[in-house]
Amino acid sequence: MAMALAMDEDGVRPVVPPSTEMLPRYEERQNLLLRPLSDKEDVLVSEPPVTWNARCEHGRWHLGAVCCVVVAVVMTLFGIGVGVLSRGGSSGQHPWGYARALKKLDKPVVILVSSDGFRFGYNWKAATPNIDRMRTEGVEAEPGMIPVFPSKTFPNHYSMATGLYPAYHGIVGNIIWDEEAGSNDTFRPGNLDPKWYLGEPIWETVVNQGLQAATYFWPGSQVKRGKWTCDPGFCQDYNHSVPYEERVDTVLAYLDLPRGKRPSFMTLYFEAPDTPGHATGPDHPQITAAVVRVDSMIGRLFEGLEKRGLEDDVTIIMVGDHGMVANCEDRMIYLEDLGPDLQVPREWIVDYSPVLEIRPPREVDATAFHGKLTRALASGDVKNAEYLDLYLKEQLPPRLHYSDSPRIAPIIGMVAEGYTLAHARSDKAMTCGGQHGYDNAYLSMRTIFIARGPQFARGMKIASFENVELYQLMTSILGLTPAPNNGTLDFVASLLLPRP
């Protein structure tokens, strides 16, 4: 089934906001990404948010739905799949063939590799022979994979791990206030209290069903819950100074473990190119250098697999968590410009930019305060006010799936691509760099998805999709029963080659 087109309330396909930064691209790729998207290429899903009590419809996981569990088990057992019909085909024969048999391993192994801030198209900035090999020998999303909103690191990594939108897995931002516990109870990156992390990440699914998992720096993986104890032998404490080579070599060493101890699922995480992206923006030579470095790590991974004769058995899925866009001093919005008669106390603000989150005290009417802010922004006194859209959270576009959680602030401001919001001019140095976190409809926020392995066709190109699909894709490869998630069974069936 084709993924639903994003429609507005009048049923008209909205225009995807153009990127303000166009990356250098090879000549043969320019026509693909510089022309407007056609209806066939539009992949934004506009289904309403999934609630905890929703039922199973149209093959989509709705939480607590037994009917979906049955379908998932059937798919796992019989390898049902319908390939993307890029080559055409006839009845009785799959257009892309069938899954290839394992040669040395007795069960599937998946390595999930995240390159933080790897904007879609970065790999065309330089020669990337190893990423190109994955594209040639596997499946690639063109043009890119869509992050969940907000397009930030922690929400997106945990969405990939759980298959849930942030409203349902609880990590709704990089900074969170828990309304029920009070404003003093705050989540920040590095907080490992299990209460913040809802849903079931894939490493828990793996160990709960009797297999071994190993994580190397994946947000949320250090949280100990149930059978997942974050064993130091298979779960690395985050340390950004660990060389990338050491990370790759550790994962490869897991494959040398005897049967029964060898992990079936592993993660790898690289901070690049996000770190230089923030400092320089997406078009600086430092980005090119970072991309080349990440490509060399993919090459190191390939080399290690080949030495072990496992290059055709192990599935590698390479992803990013979000894209990147340039921002600069002439694209600033300051709350102090609202004037002396309407001030937003700093203690009401959870986060500023690109998603402004305002949580007034309970005694303050959030709806009335939102109205005052909206009128002030429309007054013409606030510079760049037209680049800030202010919402009550329940009025956010349904396609964002970002309202059904008490952890989401009552008032949400969405800053336009490339703009930055701060409280006062004295708060932020006027510098140029890069940022993410914007509306996930922007092309600049898209990231990469490339997958290579026995159940992926060689050279297949697929439409863009939201990263909540990854969890169920991986559990299907591993032959596991997935926990409730927001992915779609149709996506898995369309992408994985059926077993003969």
Q: What is the pLDDT of residues 348-388, one digit of tens each?
A: 999 999 999 999 999 999 999 999 999 999 999 999 999 99
Q: Is residue 389 assigned to a domain?
A: yes
Q: Is residue 145 assigned to a domain?
A: yes
Query: Which stretches of 209-284 are DSSP H helices?
Result: 244-254, 274-280
List the single range of 64-78, 99-113, 155-169, 310-324 with lowest mean pLDDT.
Answer: 64-78
Number of domains in the chain: 2
Is the same domain home to 467 and 339? no
Task: For the chain, give the percent of residues with pLDDT over 90.
Answer: 73
Instruction: Please name the amino acid found at residue 438.
Output: Y
Is the same domain home to 226 and 280? yes
Instruction: Give yes or no for residue 47 having a pLDDT over 70.
Output: no
Q: Domain with 211 in it: what CATH number?
A: 3.40.720.10
Q: Is residue 205 assigned to a domain?
A: yes
- The pLDDT, as a whole number, for residue 73 is 37
Is the same domain home to 458 and 410? no
Q: Is residue 453 assigned to a domain?
A: yes
- 57 or 127: which leads in pLDDT: 127
Is the same domain home to 233 and 303? yes
Instruction: Please name the amino acid found at residue 472.
Output: Q
For 112, 301, 310, 312, 478, the CA distances from 453, given in Å and listed in that order, are 12, 14, 10, 7, 12
Is the same domain home to 424 and 461? no
User: Is the distance from CB of 435 to CB of 420 less than 8 angstroms?
Assistant: yes
Is the same domain home to 221 and 113? yes
Is the same domain home to 337 and 469? no
Q: What is the pLDDT of residues 115-150, one digit of tens each?
A: 999 999 999 999 999 999 999 999 999 989 999 999
Q: Is residue 123 assigned to a domain?
A: yes
- The pLDDT, as a whole number, for residue 19 is 34
Q: Is residue 217 assigned to a domain?
A: yes
Q: Domain with 356 in it: what CATH number?
A: 3.30.1360.180
pTM of the shown model: 0.83
Q: What is the pLDDT of residues 145-171, one digit of tens each?
A: 999 999 999 999 999 999 999 999 999
Residue 151: how many other CB atoms lie within 10 Å: 28
Active-site residue identified among 153, 205, 420, 447? 153
Is the same domain home to 349 and 224? no
DSSP string covering 78-122: HT-----TTS---TTS-TT--PPPPSS-SS-EEEEEEETT-BTTG
How far does the chain reach from its first CA to its final CA, in angstroms? 22
190 pLDDT band (50/70/90 cuts)? confident
188 pLDDT band (50/70/90 cuts)? confident
Q: Helices 244-254 and 285-307 sit at what angle, rounded to 10 degrees? A: 20
Is the same domain home to 352 and 422? yes
Is the same domain home to 366 and 292? no
Instruction: Please name the amino acid found at residue 3.
Output: M
4 three-state secondary structure = coil
Q: Is residue 90 assigned to a domain?
A: no
Is the same domain home to 148 and 225? yes
For 187, 189, 259, 357, 465, the CA distances from 175, given in Å and listed in that order, are 5, 7, 41, 10, 26
Distance between alpha carbon 401 and the CA centroid of its chain, in Å?
14
**What token pair was written down for 96?**
């892309």
Whether 153 is catalytic is yes
Residue 209 burial (CB < 10 Å; 0-12/13-18/19+)?
middle
Q: Determine the Cα–Cα distance for residues 41 and 38; give it in Å rounded to an integer.
A: 5
Q: Is residue 129 assigned to a domain?
A: yes
User: Is the distance from CB of 142 to CB of 461 less than 8 angstroms?
Assistant: yes
Is the same domain home to 447 and 309? yes
Range of the domain at 373: 329-431
